[in-house]
Amino acid sequence: MNAPDSRTARITGLVPSLSDRHVLVVGCGSVGSTMSDVLARHGVGSFTLVDPDVVEAPNLSRSTYTGEDCGRPKVDALADHLLRIDPGTRVTGHHCDLDALLELQLADLLQQVDLVVAALDDPVAQGALDHRATAIGRPVVHCALYRGAAAGEIVLNIPGATPCWACATGQRATSHGADGAHLRGEQDYGTGRLAAETALGADILTVVSVAAKLSIGLLGGPSSPVGTHTLTAIARHSMCIISTSAGWEWFPGNFGETPGQFAPQSVWLRVLGSPECPVCGEHRVAPVAPLGDGTAAGALASFRSGR
């Protein structure tokens, strides 16, 4: 086996050492597990994982898990996977949903990390996590798939440099549908979470790979080549929509009869922040527990629905 210092030999010069970087991954399904895998292979030294679920057989077709993981908490199985990539990786797992993390504990976690990967299937929790990360000044990479993984979105929230997730998703809803809800699929009744849908793992990977590259750039900093790429994305746009299937939604109208175009395709959107946004606007509302209740959640929901 190669010596430990050769693990990142083939990315030397592209990515600086990330051994001192700490990433919080919330949601360890197909998106979160794959993002963690890529980040670990690029040298990220510490992970904190949050997910309430266990590995089930249907997860195996589009995640990093194996048959031996079935029945185990995803955070435990993913932790072992990351340690097999690099035994020196530091991993902490929380087998619970985001709401179960006490407010002070979540705030403490956010203080400790360099980047948050939001891979949630509950829009309420996704917005609440982004709200808390913004209040503390931590960057967030949101990666979500639309119905059947026919497309997906990546939202960058870099506090002080970009508008927040609420501004981005409110703009998406205004620009691309009456409320944008049809894009992300059906929800499980009573849970607020998205129901599992048939989708190709390859399509999910298409979107996740872009999110992973942007994450590596944020962790590596603007002086690295991959960091320069991410910095350009932040300066010009902070939301990417990727179509993995031909003819999806409004993509034909954007590309028309342009020669040489076929899926996958991407459109990068410039997100316009709103002074009325309770997360990043002029009159911010402090996030409070629990995630789905209270003034903060109400203000956030009202803002997004009115965008």
> Lowest-pLDDT range, 40-49, 106-115, 130-139, 196-205?
196-205
pLDDT higher at 301 or 62: 62
Q: What pLDDT shows up at residue 190?
A: 38
Q: What pLDDT shows up at residue 77?
A: 98
- Within 10 angstroms of residue 53's Cβ, the number of other Cβ atoms is 15
With respect to residue 249, please indicate whether it lies within any of the assigned structural domains.
yes
Environment class of 266 (CB within 10 Å of its CB; exposed 0-12, middle 13-18, buried 19+): middle
With respect to residue 121, please indicate whether it lies within any of the assigned structural domains.
yes
Interval 77-90: pLDDT, tens: 999 999 999 999 99
Cα separations (Å) of 40 from 217, 221, 234?
A: 14, 17, 23
pLDDT higher at 45 or 186: 45
pLDDT average, residue stretch 254-274: 88
Q: What pLDDT shows up at residue 181?
A: 47
**Residue 222 in tokens:** 């603007």
**How many angstroms separate the CA atoms of 122 and 106, rounded?**
17
Positions of E strands within 95-198? 115-118, 140-145, 151-157
The H or E element spanning position 236 is helix 225-236
With respect to residue 6, please indicate whether it lies within any of the assigned structural domains.
no
Percent share of the chain, pLDDT over 70: 83
With respect to residue 12, please indicate whether it lies within any of the assigned structural domains.
no
Contact 132, 288 (CB under 8 A): no
With respect to residue 139, please indicate whether it lies within any of the assigned structural domains.
yes
Contacts of residue 23, defined as CB under 8 A and 6 or more positions apart, other chains included, come to 36, 39, 44, 46, 47, 48, 113, 114, 115, 116, 117, 215, 219
- How is residue 279 annotated by DSSP? T
Please count the structural domains in the chain. 1
Contacts of residue 293, defined as CB under 8 A and 6 or more positions apart, other chains included, come to none
Measuring CA to CA, which residue among 174, 118, 122 is closest to residue 305?
174
Q: What pLDDT shows up at residue 89?
A: 97
With respect to residue 298, please indicate whether it lies within any of the assigned structural domains.
yes
Torsion sign (Cα): 159, 37, 89, 52: positive
**How many angstroms separate the CA atoms of 22 and 8, rounded?**
17
**How many angstroms separate the CA atoms of 270 and 272, rounded?**
6
Interval 4-27: pLDDT, tens: 567 788 888 889 999 999 999 999
pLDDT average, residue stretch 121-140: 93
Which residue has 């589009």 as its token pair? 62
Q: What pLDDT shows up at residue 198?
A: 79
CATH of the domain at 132: 3.40.50.720
Q: What pLDDT shows up at residue 5?
A: 60
Interval 68-120: pLDDT, tens: 999 999 999 999 999 999 999 999 999 999 888 877 799 999 999 999 999 99
With respect to residue 82, please indicate whether it lies within any of the assigned structural domains.
yes
Q: Is 221 left (phi over 0), alpha (psi -120 to 50) or beta?
A: left
Domain assignment of residue 201, given as a range: 18-306
pLDDT average, residue stretch 156-174: 84
Interval 207-240: pLDDT, tens: 999 999 999 999 999 989 899 989 988 887 789 9
